[in-house]
């Protein structure tokens, strides 16, 4: 038994959701009961950008009808909520890296298309030095092993430091991410782009644009979670000048 697991046995951590003792080392501090509560989102969503809760009658959202997206599709496991949100936070901001494996496992349940390369959404070098790891690269490397697709972390770079998207309006947000990424060595490749949370989609859109501009054949975005539409609406009511469904109310993965 590894030391960390042994320690967990004698000094169990508390589940941040139900406050009971964490029982399964693999997901701890989240307990196995709360982990089992992570639901796959099966409700209505745009067939292209994946935005949840568009009408049952339409399969493509207004935004995707209006503008051609640089990615083929965004697929994700669940809504950015409860246990899934907590797990992503613990991995990303508290550095609990063991959660990368069970989180990656969730993604294996999704219809992942055949791909040539796995590319994680990169962090700017300065951010990477601060955080010491890139959560999307951890998820990407687990998926790479499971799916037998090579992971490339030197084919997409974040070359522009961007302020947190949270405080920005739509126009500023798009401007913020513009030319933030640089791709190389992706000619004719079908790419699986890994992100943790999709909020406005500005980050994965700009990443995909760079990859396609450098000759990638296609980009499919694979993410753990998508923001809840109610969160988006709540922000609309606070900020009525921002059009619905174009809000980034979270820090996003690339920040």
Measured from the CB atom, is 58 or 179 closer to Zn ion?
58
Near Zn ion in 156-185, by CB under 5 A: none
Least distance in Å: CB of 226 to Zn ion? 11
Among 28, 31, 186, 218, binds Zn ion (CB under 5 A): 31
Please report whether residue 18 would count as binding Zn ion according to CB under 5 A: yes
Of 61 and 117, which CB lies nearer to Zn ion in the complex structure?
61
CB of 196 to Zn ion, least distance (A): 20
The CA distance from 107 to 75, in Å, is 9
Say how far apart CA 207 and CA 194 lie, in whole Å.
10
3-state secondary structure of 43: coil
| Distance in angstroms (rounded) separating the CA atoms of residues 48 and 227 | 16
Give Cβ neighbours of residue 2 (< 8 Å, ≥ 6 apart): none
Binding piece for Zn ion, criterion CB under 5 A, among 57-65, 99-107, 182-190, 244-252: 57-65
CB-facing half-sphere around the CA of 225: CA atoms within 13 A: 22
Strand partners, 21: 14
What's the token pair of residue 51?
Answer: 């935005």
Place of tokens 């613990």: 90
117 vs 193, beta carbon nearer Zn ion? 193
Find the binder of Zn ion among 38, 45, 49, 177 (CB under 5 A). 49
Q: What is the largest CA-CA distance in the chain?
A: 57
| Contact letters for Zn ion, residues 134-153 (x by CB under 5 A) | --------------------
- Residue closer to Zn ion by CB (options 162, 208) is 208
Candidate list 25, 27, 45, 61; residue touching Zn ion; CB under 5 A: 61
**Cα angle: 93, vertex 43, 232; to 5 degrees:** 50
Q: Is 15 in the site for Zn ion (CB under 5 A)?
A: yes
Among 46, 75, 99, 189, binds Zn ion (CB under 5 A): 46
**34 contacts Zn ion (rule: CB under 5 A):** yes
Choosing from 45, 48, 156, 225, the residue that interacts with Zn ion (CB under 5 A) is: 48
Stretch that binds Zn ion, among 1-9, 59-67, 122-130, 215-223 (CB under 5 A): 59-67
In angstroms, how far is CA 215 from the centroid of its own chain?
A: 24
Minimum Å gap between C-beta 22 and Zn ion is: 7
As a whole number of angstroms, the distance between CA 49 and CA 75 comes to 8
CA–CA distances in Å: residue 99 to residues 95, 105, 114, 193: 9, 10, 25, 20
- Residues of the shown chain interacting with Zn ion in the complex, contacts defined by CB under 5 A: 15, 17-18, 31, 34, 46, 48-49, 61, 64
């Amino acid at each position: 038994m590894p030391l960390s697991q042994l320690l967990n046995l004698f000094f169990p951590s508390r589940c941040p959701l139900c406050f009971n003792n964490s029982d399964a080392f693999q997901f701890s501090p989240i307990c196995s009961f709360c982990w089992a509560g992570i639901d796959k989102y099966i409700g209505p969503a745009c067939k292209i950008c994946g935005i949840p809760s568009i009408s049952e009658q339409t399969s493509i959202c207004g935004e995707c009808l209006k503008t051609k997206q640089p990615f083929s599709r965004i697929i994700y496991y669940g809504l950015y909520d409860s246990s899934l949100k907590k797990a992503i936070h613990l991995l990303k901001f508290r550095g609990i890296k063991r959660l990368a494996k069970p989180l990656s496992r969730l993604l294996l349940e999704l219809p992942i298309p055949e791909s040539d390369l796995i590319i994680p959404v990169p962090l700017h070098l300065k951010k990477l030095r601060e955080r010491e790891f890139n959560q999307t690269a951890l998820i990407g490397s687990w998926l790479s092993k499971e799916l037998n697709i090579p992971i490339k972390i030197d084919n997409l770079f974040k070359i522009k430091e961007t302020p947190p998207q949270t405080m920005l309006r739509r126009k500023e947000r798009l401007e913020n991410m513009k030319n933030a990424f640089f791709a190389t060595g992706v000619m004719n490749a079908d790419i699986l782009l890994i992100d943790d949370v999709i909020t406005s989609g500005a980050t994965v859109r700009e990443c995909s644009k760079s990859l396609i501009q450098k000759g990638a054949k296609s980009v499919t975005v694979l993410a753990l979670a998508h923001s809840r539409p109610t969160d988006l609406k709540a922000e609309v009511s606070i900020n009525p000048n921002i059009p619905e469904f174009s809000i980034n109310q979270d820090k996003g993965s690339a920040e």
